[in-house]
Every structure is written in C-alpha cells, then in structure tokens.
Amino acid sequence: MKTFFSLAIAILLISCSKNNVSPIVQIPLGNTDMESGSTQPSNWFYGFTAKDIAMTWSTDASSSPSHSLEMSRSTVTDQTSYAAWGQNYQGAMPVGKDLTFTAKIKGDNLVGQGVSIVIRVDGATTQNLQISSTQGNQTINGTFDWKTYTVNLASLTSQAKYIIVYLVYLPGTTGKAYFDDVSLTHN
C-alpha cells in the first residue's frame, strides 16, 4: 500500500510539473497572412539600399490565401545592398520573456547569401538594444517550396519600447523569395 501511495504521489508531481509550462502567447502583429491592403500590404513597410531589388505585394505565390511579400533581383550591381519588409510592434512589452518570430518562406533560385528573418528591439532613444537573426546561423537560399523558419530572442529587456520584425533579402543575392504567414510569440 505504501508503494502505491508513493507511486501515486510521484505521478501527481510529474503531472503538475508538466502543467507549469509557460503557454505560448501571440504578440499581435497586423496582416500576418499578407492578405489586406489596397495597393500595398497593410501594416508592412519596406526599405532597401539598392534600387535593383524589387519589392512586391505578390499574388505569384502564397502559403495561404492569395498574397505574399516578394523580393527579387536578377543581377547584383552592389555587393553590399539589401532590402527588407518590416513591421513595428509598440504594445505591451513582455519583459523577461523569450520571443519567437516565425515566417513561411519560398525560394526560387536564391543564389548568394539568400534571405533571413530578424527580431530587433529598440528603446525609447536607443536602437538595437537586442537583435537576433537567422543570418550567420542558418542559410536560407536555393529553390524550395514553403518552409517554416524561426528565430528566437532570449529574455526581452525591460528597456524595450519597440519590437521590429524584418524579412530580409541579404547582400549579394539574386533570385526570388516569398514570405507569408508570420507570427511573433512569447512564452
């Protein structure tokens, strides 16, 4: 009988510890499926350092319904030029929590460094308080169908005022990249 109670208590303790896992919480980004907008996708901005990188709200390929964000280039004229789609989050900051940014990406003959996804944290007056990227950690190039990629940022600083997520077309790259179905979460 004593063995039975010891076993029952052990099972109860193990069950309780599994229930103490932090839940995954969505941080509300806008237009995460890239579907809303009129001539440009709602909630997304873009920037580039070279005019030879095309930035398109595309219907050529999509992971879900009909739109994605596309970046492409056929010839590299400047080895340092890059482009990015981005979105800012300025709501309640999950200080001390680990962040995960996820995006579905499709590559069409991506040659060179390829693409990456990035989480950047800025303060009220300071940029780049924290930054995490797939660049240098995971090569995303070649030709491939929709695949999910993630980047993590540990323990959001208490100085965070803005979280910016980026979909980046890296320097020295040619080919097409499509991005769709993004999410930003914390645990």
> In CATH terms, is domain 22-186 a member of 1.10.260.40?
no
- Would you kindly state where each structural domain of the chain is located, as residue ranges? 22-186
Residue type, position 187, single letter: N
pLDDT digits (tens, 9 = 90+) for 124-134: 999 999 999 99
pLDDT in tens, 95-144: 999 999 999 999 999 999 999 999 999 999 999 999 999 999 999 999 99
CB 67 within 8 A of CB 34: yes
d(CA 47, CA 55): 9
Residue 148, classed as helix, strand or coil, is: strand
* Cα(176)–Cα(70) distance, integer angstroms: 7
**What is the rounded CA–CA span in Å between residue 27 and residue 24?**
10
Whole-number Å distance between alpha carbons of 2 and 161: 55
For 34, the token pair is 């890239």
On whether the CB atoms of residues 151 and 5 are closer than 8 A, the answer is no
DSSP state of 37: B
- CA 160 centroid distance within chain: 18
Q: pTM higher than 0.75 for the full model? A: yes
pLDDT at 180 (0 to 100): 98
- Integer Cα distance of 109 and 144 in angstroms: 8
- Give pLDDT, residue 22: 76
Would the pLDDT of 58 be above 90? yes
Give the mean pLDDT of 176-180. Answer: 98
Beta-carbon contacts of residue 112 (< 8 Å; ≥ 6 apart)? 76, 141, 170, 171, 172, 173, 174, 175
R_g (Cα) of the chain, nearest Å: 20
